[in-house]
Chain A
């Protein structure tokens, strides 16, 4: 037996599940046809939409190999003027808070629609954020381990999606034609799907924790591709079971999908509610990841050396709770600004950062006038 292994390390499996869970939730529940204008072949869009993030990972890898440092945020801090750095970090922080807020709203609408019709949204939202706050203060190792343990949920979901293809309800006739619009329209409408992968931005703060010996980019890429497959399956199965016109009108196509099946076991009358618990767990995971991520960003913004990590967590929880309580339910919110912002902070800004870091010479070589350490 392997007694010598240090247990605290974060390895490939952890990285894979972390990446997967950091991105998949919102897409899982609301895909396909989230935005207001949609084309039939959403499944094609999610495949195309993964490409920018593969580029993201590629650039990330380049930066890491060039500077030999996985902590891109600190690298950026060292290599640029402080005000740019703080601007970017503050923007990232605000955007993660926005994502947490939007995620919570998403959870609230799902829970209110399917589980608890008569419960006010602040009860659901506050309880959610409270539990997340409590759990997140256990630290990243606990979060990572928990995500790994509960990953079987995702596997069950994935398998049930695959099984759906072979069910009677799924009809291939509903899938084609594959492309009824011109490429330009298709690409424009794919942009909204790009944001479904945005969650992997949390890797910025996570990678420095990963064991130095682990080859990080392979699990990340695999994970992103696995996410792509999941999305692809969701879109395909939804379209196959409901047809385009009906699927378009659904709040949560996957939930509706699970509603159409009757449990073969007879243990649960309605599988959809069982899967709703899986959804809630999924929201819980992504909530944990993002609350933790924003707490790491907050640490960067506030130069104060706060000894206890949970202080930051609770600052974030408080902010999010206040926003969640004081805004109307998601029905009245527009997805568009969220999507655009998601696109900008998870793709545009990081890619710019990568490019800048790639252009700059390796740290310590030659100059630097604005080294701010």
Chain B
């Protein structure tokens, strides 16, 4: 059933995009490596011509057999190569008859014999070392030591109580981090190389018996059939695995917090890590999941959690609907506003040249520009932008008679309310919807707004993430789950 839905995506990888073609011009990619070190070196030199960081070393054993080692110098651990490979080889005088004999000499944790050219080249690119003793099969020494950093405090997902510990850019290490959080043999991982050209390492992590096996199988088939050249970010991957990629709503979420991920794993979700990204993708995700964080469970009182989640839902509504509601009330149904407030609004608006709709669009746009501008700036400039923008938009615009006081209040409150949602992606979605709703409210007032919200709801109900309905447990209704969301068991 799953497979059918996604049939169109499961094409064969496009072979010509990979480096195999390039390799084929030099060697037969499926052939074994020759036994002669001279030939191997010659061909390696052609493959990695004009590659300054490609390093080769050649020396002779006491017996006079030539040894050839090649690797990328920045990707390996040089002291280890020296201590556990070169030293033993030079000091010992053994007559190797077989590549297996090397195991008795070398103190390397893991090595294996090469199979063909393709695999060998891939291994070199991966930071491993090729060791070739004349007339023996070349072997690969797994001595890669890539530059990485230590886990640090997560910078994008601030929390009050959560662990001060974030993922790094190495998918395997990240899985290692997760193993520290969940010590259970059922914590399974599967590894992939994604991207026909860039071959990014990715892994999915899940708790067996907690998550639905279909979801894992489905993800497995999706990741195996990824046929684009590159995979740059986790976002690309999320879009790729989403069933409704054109929907405004995210169907996977990202996190850089191991505590949040372990919470998600226990909830039966599947986590995808890729190299080069300190964020992992979590799927399947529902509407409610986007409103919760693992940190909510840190509260000592259950009522705090209830309150916070309730607050988030209400804020989401306010943040989405308020400007549209304001526009429709001011332009269509002023009877709804209390009389004294109506007079105040009218007084505030009397000298504003723009209609309320334009005013709303202007302010919303200004707000979003401000957010976008300050987002990527270094913090010291960001603060300046914040102050300047706040002053200009807040005070100067009102004094200049461009926008009314009430509109500033509405937009400011809207902005603050939306940011209560823990997922930035989700906030952005609602931001777009806000514009659409204002547009409809400007044309058909409250009536249009209600119908638009109705359509939005049907759309949300149609969505699903890995076949899990987006609005679950609200619809399909599951009282127990719903209670657990607001008021989890002790």
* Residues in A lying within 8 Å of B, measured CB to CB: 1-5, 7-11, 13-14, 111, 115-116, 119, 123-124, 127-128, 131, 134-135, 138-139, 141-146, 148-150, 266-270, 273-274, 276-277, 280-281, 284-285, 288
Rounded to whole Å, the gap between the CB of B294 and the closest CB of chain A is 15
Q: Would A145 and B267 count as touching, CB distance under 8 A? A: no
Chain B residues contacting A3 (CB-CB under 8 Å) are 210-212, 268
Chain B residues contacting A148 (CB-CB under 8 Å) are 474-477
Q: Would A13 and B477 count as touching, CB distance under 8 A? A: yes
Chain A residues contacting B453 (CB-CB under 8 Å) are 281
Chain B residues contacting A123 (CB-CB under 8 Å) are 444
Sorted from nearest, which 9 A-B pairs have the closest CB atoms? Answer: A145-B475, A145-B461, A142-B462, A135-B458, A138-B462, A13-B477, A148-B475, A142-B461, A284-B454
With A1-B267, A134-B455, A266-B338 as known contacts, state yes or no: A145 contacts B450, CB within 8 Å: no
Using CB atoms, name the residue of chain A closest to B341. A269
Q: Would A146 and B458 count as touching, CB distance under 8 A? A: yes
Per-residue CB contact flags for chain B residues 253-283 toward chain A (1 = under 8 Å, else 0) read 0000000000000011000000000000000
18 contacts between A and B (CB under 8 A): A3-B211, A8-B469, A14-B475, A127-B448, A131-B455, A138-B458, A141-B469, A142-B458, A145-B469, A148-B474, A149-B475, A150-B454, A268-B337, A269-B337, A273-B333, A273-B336, A276-B446, A277-B450
B338: contacting residue among A5, A144, A269, CB under 8 A = A269
Q: A1-B268, A4-B212, A141-B462 are in contact. List 19 more A-B contacts (CB 8 A).
A: A3-B212, A7-B464, A7-B476, A14-B476, A115-B447, A134-B455, A138-B459, A141-B469, A142-B461, A142-B462, A144-B476, A145-B471, A149-B457, A149-B471, A267-B338, A268-B338, A269-B336, A269-B338, A280-B450
Chain B residues contacting A269 (CB-CB under 8 Å) are 335-339, 342
Chain A residues contacting B335 (CB-CB under 8 Å) are 269-270, 273
With A14-B476, A149-B475 as known contacts, state yes or no: A115 contacts B333, CB within 8 Å: yes
Q: Would A138 and B450 count as touching, CB distance under 8 A? A: no
Per-residue CB contact flags for chain B residues 159-189 toward chain A (1 = under 8 Å, else 0) read 0000000000000000000000000000000
Using CB atoms, name the residue of chain A closest to B461. A145
Answer yes or no: B468 CB below 8 A from chain A CBs.
yes
Using CB atoms, name the residue of chain A closest to B451. A131
Rounded to whole Å, the gap between the CB of B32 and the closest CB of chain A is 47
Per-residue CB contact flags for chain B residues 338-361 toward chain A (1 = under 8 Å, else 0) read 110010000000000000000000
Chain A residues contacting B342 (CB-CB under 8 Å) are 269
Answer yes or no: B445 CB below 8 A from chain A CBs.
yes
Chain B residues contacting A276 (CB-CB under 8 Å) are 446
With A11-B476, A266-B338 as known contacts, state yes or no: A116 contacts B210, CB within 8 Å: no
Distance between Cα atoms of A181 and B468 in the complex (Å):
57
Q: How many A-B residue pairs lie within 8 Å, measured between CB atoms?
A: 133
Q: Would A145 and B476 count as touching, CB distance under 8 A? A: yes
Q: Would B475 and A146 count as touching, CB distance under 8 A? A: yes
Rounded to whole Å, the gap between the CB of B308 and the closest CB of chain A is 20
Chain B residues contacting A141 (CB-CB under 8 Å) are 461-462, 469
Distance between Cα atoms of A269 and B329 in the complex (Å):
11
Rounded to whole Å, the gap between the CB of B318 and the closest CB of chain A is 12
Chain B count of residues within 8 A CB distance of the other chain: 46
Rounded to whole Å, the gap between the CB of A202 and the closest CB of chain B is 17
Using CB atoms, name the residue of chain A closest to B333. A273
Q: Would B446 and A288 count as touching, CB distance under 8 A? A: no
Q: Would A115 and B332 count as touching, CB distance under 8 A? A: yes
Answer yes or no: B395 CB below 8 A from chain A CBs.
no
Chain A residues contacting B458 (CB-CB under 8 Å) are 135, 138, 142-143, 146, 288
Distance between Cα atoms of A268 and B341 in the complex (Å):
10
Q: Would B477 and A14 count as touching, CB distance under 8 A? A: yes
Using CB atoms, name the residue of chain A closest to B463. A142
Rounded to whole Å, the gap between the CB of A320 and the closest CB of chain B is 15
Rounded to whole Å, the gap between the CB of A115 and the closest CB of chain B is 5
Q: Would B469 and A7 count as touching, CB distance under 8 A? A: yes
Q: Which of A127, A268, A270, A277 has the most CB of B within 10 A?
A: A277
